[in-house]
Amino acid sequence: MSSCSRRDFFKLPLALGATALFERDGAGAGRRVIDEYDPANIKLAHRVPARIGGDDLLFLKQIGMRWARVELGDEDAPLDSLRATQQRYARFGIQIYSAVHHAYRSLKIQLGRPGRDRDIETFQRFLRDLGQLGIPVANIDFHPANTYTTAMVESPRGYTVRQFKLSDFRSKVEKQAFEREYSAAEIWANYTYFIKAVLPVAEEAGVRLALHPDDPPLEKMNGVAKVFVHYDGYRRAEEIAGSSRHWGLTFCIGTWSEGGDRMGKSVLEMIRDFGGRGKIVDVHFRNVSAPLPHFVETFPDDGYVDMYQVMKTLREVRFAGTVVPDHVPQLVGDQGIRRASTAYCIAYMRALLRRANEEVG
């Protein structure tokens, strides 16, 4: 290299990532453009298992990932184990922004059965551990009898995706999941009991709870009511949380788009409402082919929602949490954490974010 040394050349990306950029052309010349890695910007991240392999972590590093949502599932997650996971990710330059432990999915908790306090204590301990490690977000949902999909299908473009067809669900899949049906009033009572027990612990630990909507947004599935299927459900949940800054939304674009006009507010209206008040904690950046009664999940560029407008609106409300490619479709030859599909999603999301940064400033 004639104009600069090889060492200086490889420093250039780091320099770009650490400083503000400026538009050089057009009417916005000289206007500050926030950099992707600015702490005040959206954080591109991915949902990954806690025990992800080293090759997958290296892959995430190679495509520019600096943040992750770690899925612990039902496994025991003592503090030392969480710390070891955090340190292993850090060796690849990746910080854990949010974590999921399925203690909250206990049927004792979600159906109000005896013994729920012990399971709540497990989740409370998890929140305290996150706070001690500086992991700022814990993701939750509340749909104990959910069916997410009715089939795996090939999309028109040829990749493999999840499909939900309401007629198939009602005629072929749905069954009473438990010994009796559960009403919306019961689910609300159980959710309220849970959130009143864990929210004070989250506040003390400095951890934000992020509540996912019911996917798909149907009012009852398998004999159990679902209550986070509409704008009004989220508003009621917000009222239950009161003025706490430690409660908010995992806003799933795909789920909200599945409901279409039935949701009370559009995706962009939800972002302006909850996001404008700082109540969106993280975002699942997923598209679908159409609203209910029949949809397939898609890559972000292949569904009916204009995902650029989503990214732009998130920037307009100054959202600074994570955006993850949710339910990544499967491409031929995918390995590990569906590396090809993940790289496709992240590259597309990065391009949208760059454009939104330039337009919003």
Give me the residue label for tokens 């206007």: 31
Is 12 within a domain? no
Is 24 within a domain? no
pLDDT beyond 60 at 197: yes
CATH number for the domain including 283?
3.20.20.150
Is 8 within a domain? no
Distance CA 212, CA 255 (A): 9
Is 177 within a domain? yes
Model pLDDT for residues 252-289, shown as the tens digit of each residue: 999 999 999 999 999 999 999 999 999 999 999 999 99
Distance CA 318, CA 109 (A): 35
Is 311 within a domain? yes
Distance CA 101, CA 127 (A): 10
Is 135 within a domain? yes
Give me the residue label for tokens 């949380």: 241
For all residues of the chain together, what is the average pLDDT?
91
Q: How many domains does the chain have?
A: 1
Model pLDDT for residues 86-142, shown as the tens digit of each residue: 999 999 999 999 999 999 999 999 999 999 999 999 999 999 999 999 999 999 999
Distance CA 278, CA 128 (A): 23
pTM of the predicted protein model:
0.90
For 306-334, b/e burial (b = at least 16 CB within 10 A) is ebbebbbbbbbbebbbbbbbbbbbebeeb
The answer to whether the beta carbons of residues 97 and 70 sit under 8 Å apart is: no
Bridge partners (DSSP) of residue 32 are 22
Whole-number pLDDT of residue 9: 32
Is 16 within a domain? no
What is the domain range of residue 301?
A: 30-360
Is 131 within a domain? yes
pLDDT beyond 50 at 30: yes
Per-residue pLDDT, averaged over 320-327, amounts to: 96
Model pLDDT for residues 335-352, shown as the tens digit of each residue: 889 999 999 999 999 999
